Amino acid sequence: MKVELLNYTQNPEETVALAGRLCYSGSDIEETKNGLTKGYTKKILGILRKNGHLSTFEHVSFTFGIEGVSRVLTHQLVRHRIASYSQQSQRYVKEEEGKFEYVIPDSIKENEEAKNKFIERMKKYHEYYLDALKMGIPKEDARFYLPNAAETKIIVTMNARALTNFLEERLCNRAQWEIRKMAEKMLGLVKEKAPILFENIGPACVNGICPEGTMTCGKLKEMRERYKDE
C-alpha cells in the first residue's frame, strides 16, 4: 500500500484560524490577519474545535494519491460522501496478462493452504477475464469476472472537517484492517503539514465516548495513550 500527500492548502492552520477569527471580529480581513502567531493560531483552533465551530475547517483540503489497495477498501472509502474521488477505471484500463495485481489479507497469507488456494483462484479469475476479452466481450463486461481483491488506484481530496470525521471512524479498532492501515498513513502525512489542526486526532473514543456501544473493542485507555499528543 502506498499513500502519498499530493497537495494541500498552503498555511492550512492559519487559514482555519483566520476564518474563525473573522466570524467574531469587526475588523477587515487585513487587520484580522495580523497577530496570527503560532501560539495564537493554536489557541483559536482549540476554541473552534471545543465549540464545534467546524465549518471553518472546511476551508482547507488535502489530496492523497493511493495505490496498492483493494476494491474492498475503495467500496468502503467512497461511503464518505464529502470528498472527491478519481479511481482507475476497470472499464477502460485492461488487466494485462502477467500484470494482474491483487491484495491478500494477512489472515490468508499466514495460512499456507488458504494462501495457495487464494492465489490459484485469483489466477483463474484473471484467466476467465482474459478469455472473455478474446471472445470479444468488452472490458466493461469482462470486469465482472474480477474479484474485490483486485488492486486499484485512487486520488482522494477531503477538506479538514471531512478528513477528521473519516479518521475518527476508520482509525477505530473495529474498522476493517485495510482501510484502518490507510487511515494511519493519512494521519501521519497530514500531521507533518498541520500538527495543530490534527492534534489529538484518532478514533472517536480518543476525545469522547466509544460510539460502538456493546461492540466496543474495550481498549479505550490504550487508544487514548496512542493518539493523544499531550
CA pair distance 208, 70, nearest whole angstrom: 31
Grouping H, G, I as helix, E, B as strand and the rest as coil, residue 42 is helix
In angstroms, the CA 146 to CA 149 distance is: 8
* Strand partners of residue 66: 3, 154
Burial of 96 (0-12, 13-18, 19+ CB in 10 A): exposed
Active-site choice (21, 49, 161, 170):
170
* CA–CA gap between residue 171 and residue 109 (Å, rounded): 23
Q: Tell me how far CA of residue 138 lies from CA of 61, 181, 215, in angstroms.
A: 37, 34, 44
* Catalytic (active site) residue 170: yes
3-state secondary structure of 180: helix
Active site residues: 170
